Structure 1
């Protein structure tokens, strides 16, 4: 942490020095409608690489000071118009005017940064989705990952409304990397009931990379990357913020978020705080689900400087969450019970269900993060230097006799570092050379121990290149990584709990792809990538069980790295009134890691006595596997009803082992096929009092999952279900100024009782009254959000 603070202070000091000595370069111009020539007031202009932007005034004019010289990508956006992405060479006091074309299709070329440097989605051969703040606000959901599952190919592994783990094309846990403001999020993501610990209301946009992204992010990015950006500087010479409040009827979830930031003469800052709390959620079969409650108190912000030489930002955040662990224990009448000291069971009261303070067992998670994000102009190119320190403290309280006792207490410290030099673009060539990795240390402070204390060090270097030839963009690169890992020896009650481990894992990853713009309306993409993942500490050395699981896990120190080859093929047809996209993938994984049940000497299950309970024992193993599938999107907006959209998305994935396990070839935890059909109306684009009226009705159909991984009783088949969702939103204006935005949404309006195939609550105890096993997902839920912008 001290190193991060010193580096940040040094960066800001250098920033101030440069600010005094370097001439302020300027970019200015005007944004107009291509057909009418009318100025577009409030259009956004962003220099993606330098994190510098502004809005046009009432006459459509804009001015950007302190711009970095050299090659830049300018992104120009305005509601109801096609996003414009321009590559320009800035030389000083430049003037660039832009004319935008109106459109009702929002899936246009947008600047993205999840591939190491700013680029265009149309020029990137790997499948990428981008979700902005407005889309997140208008999506009916209970958390940030839940909102992302509306995107094709994205699912969630859930343990109630508070815990959702992202799944990309059937892969999650340590096979997927979550990046937050430039550094990979590290929070014991190997755990079934461990979320991502990022405040959802602070998110400004999300970028999803589907497919192996080990080239940029190294080990663990086999499935892809979810890049979550919270830092969003205010426009130059302005103060900007917002107050966002929300309420949900099902579990009485309420939230209050406030932020304020400024940008004056290159110095920019932001501060935000968020409070969120919820009682127990309800559904038609279970009623209120006891101890599904949670509460959060989160804060964050940044301070920095943007100049003609680049930028330097110091970002800080703290995520603090308490959430109940749902055990699903019920009496003979099917009523949930709570356990009191002495093992006494009692029915929860209405106050117990409505309380936002979880009862034993529960988790307390605190994630502190400090990031130094910098970009400097060096020669004709740019040098990005990004370092971060994060501390994830995860404590589980599971002893009702001693409620304050820390049954489990993980203390994970991670130092991330990344340096990338982006060479100047020349003759259509773009090159990036990078070095990065992380150092990690985990300590156990609870009375129980699941994994050994360990030290981990990653280092990797890569070369990424891109070449544009006419309508074709060829990109790819190669990377080498090394991970060293040392786990500590531990004895417990005179017996060996953990043997010491010293491991080194090295690997080469890479990718090569082509994006071909055959015509303005036809885009073709193909990509081949090699990814890998070193086994995690729990897979190598775990020894124990904990709240929320029904198994005792043993690690396997002999595991090797997972290695994958994945091919992606995509097509996009974009006419004036129809948008069609399709992508398919084939992923071959060698040494796929999963857990298998151990057998006793007599051929029956191997059982471990844990506090009087006999828990089945499992151990991690490896087999070769194949995953394949794809996603399709069809958006119809017929003339003259251009404001009307009939959008359909279909996501399909299957996974099979090369050889069967107990006569089963299906890979564990493969999501069911999902089809979302949506009717959407976008009205009153230029209304004076009511503007950007958004009406949406959605049919979310999940097909039956009849091919689960049934070996060892791991999974059971899951019936299909159909959910009806709806939303309405609009901006309330006064003299062209937005007073507030109102969002009204409904999830599962028909109150369907269902279980998601990837819900862990599906495997809790049987309801003795009804014979149904497990706890069901959230029932009917209405939501309201109110966003009040603050602009000076």
Structure 2
């Protein structure tokens, strides 16, 4: 009922926005700061209004039908520093941009966690961005793998298809993913549950490193990852694009085709993506059995941009099939084994069929089928002198896993999750350099277990958060902050099974009460207060204090059974309290013609930090529990809460002499220490903390070699991961990981004719030395031992070459 009322309220408010306003426009020209020549092909864009223009051959541009107000406008072009300015739009306004050439692309605009677009140096929260150019010039197996190159960001992996983001040592439900403007909800609490996002639909990634509960509520206690779609095309444009990618290691084919246009303010963008790969390989394991995957995705964006604002609908479908790597081996040969149904109906293991290692669309038991459907209605329009932002979303997630060959090709695990998202904000008109907004957002969820194995209860959830955000600028000094109150209601449902573990709709005296009905309600305040200061045009500083809030997840509060894929029996606690964090961030940055640098330091204290501990038997040894549904027993872990402290930071340095505009040298260092308070040595460190990392990249680029080759570049990079010996080793399920170094290189160019780009080609080589290594965050590190070599677990991907061809087609 609450959601229905919010939907009705939003529709009524939206209807009031469709009124006529005076015509406003922004026009001007873009020139090179180096030689004052006009720059064609520059994107001049309003991030808040999702409208813009491309400069013509004379460098001129014009953008019409703009809602009155103060907006951040960004001008960007490959090979030049982006230029962002706050511009007051009322009537006909003129503004000219001057852009400096640079091999280093500095992203100045941030839209995540703020009410309106802002310059990143004016936002006190530590952040990082990844542009479309960077996504194209690098190679990755999924979108989380792609952002792993950002300082302070890492990933927990289960093979090349499953990656979970980690920000400054925290992951799972402590990292919030925003996709198409709403929080992505896909039962993201388990290791083997990845993020349902098509990498080819992402135009730009923004990462907030630190609590962002003020804007997003629960689960943003570590930070936020925001996947942004391509911007709307300028009015009168129609374009198609074809992207083809092949990777040699696992034979990955990743192809996408899109069609977008803008006719008199009506915008559309259609995308289809197809991806398939066979098993990957490395120097020690050879091909890794059952690591193949295939993906099909569709996405459509339909909208209208007028003087009152914009309204658009986003419809998407994500469909992924993938094998799950077990890493089981034959004891005599060390080769991988596969499940085989013996003549007596028992599950047996035989040597994996070598002819199937390079097979496409082959998913033996164990495998998953993941589907995610989503509809988002995104609106921004003028309301009086201010602006209203209204978003409504519906997501349905189907996550199925077949893992018992004796039951045939059926899905033992089958989770279904339906989520309704809502977000309603009002932005007051900017006055005396004050920017103030307030609103309400949250979600309603219902989870069903449609399989035959039951680890967590079915549940209903509703939460709501009210918040206010303010920003004030005094010349060089900018204050930002706000306050939020969240309330979450969680209802875990009863489940009865018989002695064979079969669900019973009508329980009897012999029924087993698998899950007991319970209610857990959580509420709390969160907020932030920060300041930025421009010491000079080139030097700036930031400081931010933020309080985060996270309610326990369904497994943490309601688990009762064997965690599939492990031998562990997990027990939740419905009486757990919500996590609360207090994080302090400090940043010092330099931006100049020859040198850019930034130093970030943070300290994050989390109270009621939730984690599992192994229970001991009253007679000594492990507490062993039998799961009659799964059909076997295992050592018992229970979720409890304590206090944790994480600290560390990042250092980023970019050297790009203005007298050598073709040269850029980037260096980054990331470190985090994650400690549980009041614990012994064996449990002192939080499990799966990312190791220290140094990244160095040399980039040589040329804007114009001749009339054929443009935007040509070469990169050479070295990634050094330090030894990770700060581990949680009490139960033997985390071990020390040696350090290792990876060498990578890339090369690419635009092929042009008559100033038009015919196609672009991107070559990239990953792990050129074919180093055999195990990342400390890889769950495959703990698979079976190869008795022939003594090596434990499965290794990460070996040498991989990627080739991409991108073909833009201007139809109008």
Q: Is the shorter-chain TM-score for this pair beyond 0.5, marking a shared fold?
A: yes
Alpha-carbon distance in 1 for matches of 2:391, 2:160: 33
1:503: which partner in 2? 520
| Residues 121-166 of structure 1: CA deviation (Å, up to 9, x unaligned) | 0110111112111111111222211111111000000000000000
2:46: which partner in 1? 47
- SS of 2:136's equivalent in the other structure is helix
- Give the CA deviation at 1:640: 3.4
Task: Single out whichever of 547-556 and 360-369 deviates more from structure 2.
Answer: 547-556
2:799: which partner in 1? 780
- Give the CA deviation at 1:574: 2.1
Residues 505 and 561, structure 1, Cα contact 8 Å, conserved in 2: yes
- Structure 1's 183 and 629: CA in aligned 2 closer, same or farther, altered over 3 A? same
| Residues 635-667 of structure 1: CA deviation (Å, up to 9, x unaligned) | 122353331122110000001111114643111
Alpha-carbon distance in 1 for matches of 2:63, 2:416: 44
- Give the CA deviation at 1:406: 1.7
| Residues 518-538 of structure 1: CA deviation (Å, up to 9, x unaligned) | 101101010001001110110
- Normalised to the residue count of structure 1, the TM-score between the two structures is 0.97
Task: Single out whichever of 735-744 and 66-75 deviates more from structure 2.
Answer: 66-75
- Normalised to the residue count of structure 2, the TM-score between the two structures is 0.94
1:522: which partner in 2? 539
Alpha-carbon distance in 1 for matches of 2:561, 2:626: 11
Is residue 364 of structure 2 the alignment partner of residue 359 of structure 1? yes
Is residue 437 of structure 2 the alignment partner of residue 427 of structure 1? no
Q: Equivalent of 1:403, from 408, 413, 424? A: 408
- Structure 1's 353 and 45: CA in aligned 2 closer, same or farther, altered over 3 A? same
Task: Single out whichever of 725-734 and 336-345 deviates more from structure 2.
Answer: 336-345
- Give the CA deviation at 1:179: 0.3
- Structure 1's 426 and 321: CA in aligned 2 closer, same or farther, altered over 3 A? same
- Give the CA deviation at 1:94: 2.3
Superposed CA RMSD in Å reads 2.1
2:462: which partner in 1? 457
- Give the CA deviation at 1:16: 11
Residues 577 and 642, structure 1, Cα contact 8 Å, conserved in 2: no
| Residues 177-233 of structure 1: CA deviation (Å, up to 9, x unaligned) | 000111000000101111110000110111100000000000110100001012521
- Structure 1's 350 and 9: CA in aligned 2 closer, same or farther, altered over 3 A? farther
Residues 361 and 547, structure 1, Cα contact 8 Å, conserved in 2: no
Matches within 5 A, 1:372-387: 372-387=377-392
Alpha-carbon distance in 2 for matches of 1:13, 1:153: 39
Is residue 735 of structure 2 the alignment partner of residue 716 of structure 1? yes
- Give the CA deviation at 1:99: 2.3
1:741: which partner in 2? 760
- Give the CA deviation at 1:101: 3.0
Is residue 572 of structure 2 the alignment partner of residue 572 of structure 1? no
Q: What 5-or-longer segments of structure 1 have no aligned partner?
A: none
- SS of 1:201's equivalent in the other structure is helix
Residues 563 and 570, structure 2, Cα contact 8 Å, conserved in 1: no
Alpha-carbon distance in 2 for matches of 1:47, 1:67: 9
- Give the CA deviation at 1:111: 4.2
1:336: which partner in 2? 336
Task: Single out whichever of 581-590 and 676-685 deviates more from structure 2.
Answer: 676-685
| Residues 529-555 of structure 1: CA deviation (Å, up to 9, x unaligned) | 100111011000111234433422111
Alpha-carbon distance in 1 for matches of 2:562, 2:705: 58
Q: Equivalent of 2:487, from 476, 482, 488? A: 482
Is residue 120 of structure 2 the alignment partner of residue 115 of structure 1? no
2:617: which partner in 1? 600
- SS of 2:660's equivalent in the other structure is coil
Alpha-carbon distance in 2 for matches of 1:105, 1:606: 56
- Structure 1's 5 and 421: CA in aligned 2 closer, same or farther, altered over 3 A? closer
Is residue 451 of structure 2 the alignment partner of residue 446 of structure 1? yes
- Give the CA deviation at 1:432: 0.9
| Residues 249-300 of structure 1: CA deviation (Å, up to 9, x unaligned) | 1111111101111101110011111000111000111111100111001101
Is residue 703 of structure 2 the alignment partner of residue 705 of structure 1? no
Is residue 566 of structure 2 the alignment partner of residue 545 of structure 1? no
Alpha-carbon distance in 1 for matches of 2:128, 2:169: 17
Task: Single out whichever of 31-40 and 270-279 deviates more from structure 2.
Answer: 31-40
Residues 15 and 311, structure 1, Cα contact 8 Å, conserved in 2: no
Alpha-carbon distance in 2 for matches of 1:627, 1:324: 34
Matches within 5 A, 1:634-653: 634-638=653-657, 640-653=659-672
| Residues 59-97 of structure 1: CA deviation (Å, up to 9, x unaligned) | 111121211112121111123333221111111232222
1:619: which partner in 2? 638
